[in-house]
Amino acid sequence: MAGLTLKQQRFADEYIICANVEQAALKAGYSRSYARANAYKLLANVSIKAYVDERLEALNSEKVADQQEVMEFLTSVMRGEVTEPVPIFVGDGFQEVMNLKPNVQARRAAAVDLGKRYGMWTEKIEQTNRNIEIVVGDWDADDED
């Protein structure tokens, strides 16, 4: 990131890892006396704070699946393209791990979730509209006589 020295960037990266200002400053190469007394000032630096915030946001977004990834996963489960390690009893008290495709129940659940996303399971209700004409003032016309 532009505007940061190599030492400042190392500090920011270490701070992201340990979340301790003093330790991050020491690991980045700042002196012990500076780290104890003034390391908090590094986080007050606008460029360092922006870099830390940007990196944390990127890390968080990488951890969370987006809509496309979820849809692709559900589709691959529905189609039986993924496998799951399952222990299988082979005799004499031994098990073997085999990679099996999802069972019909899992594939059906993925299909239902996909169908919900695309609105395939909504009921369609036919509605007929009746027009009711209301003329304001007609009901009290007799009262004025």
pLDDT in tens, 102-122: 999 999 999 999 888 888 877
Establish if 56 belongs to a structural domain: yes
Residue (of 3, 2, 37, 1) closest to 22 by Cα position: 37
Establish if 122 belongs to a structural domain: no
Q: Could you give the CA distance from residue 53 to residue 137 in angstroms, rounded to a whole number?
A: 65
Q: Could you give the CA distance from residue 122 to residue 10 in angstroms, rounded to a whole number?
A: 54
Number of domains in the chain: 2
- Identify the domain containing residue 59 by its residue range: 6-63
Q: Looking at the structure, tell me whether residues 10 and 47 fall in a common domain.
A: yes
Establish if 28 belongs to a structural domain: yes
Per-residue pLDDT reduced to its tens digit, 47-106: 999 999 999 888 877 777 778 888 999 999 999 999 999 999 988 889 999 999 999 999
Cut 0.75: pTM above it: no
User: So what's the pLDDT on residue 143?
Assistant: 57
User: So what's the pLDDT on residue 116?
Assistant: 86
Q: Could you give the CA distance from residue 42 to residue 22 in angstroms, rounded to a whole number?
A: 10
C-alpha gyration radius of the chain: 32
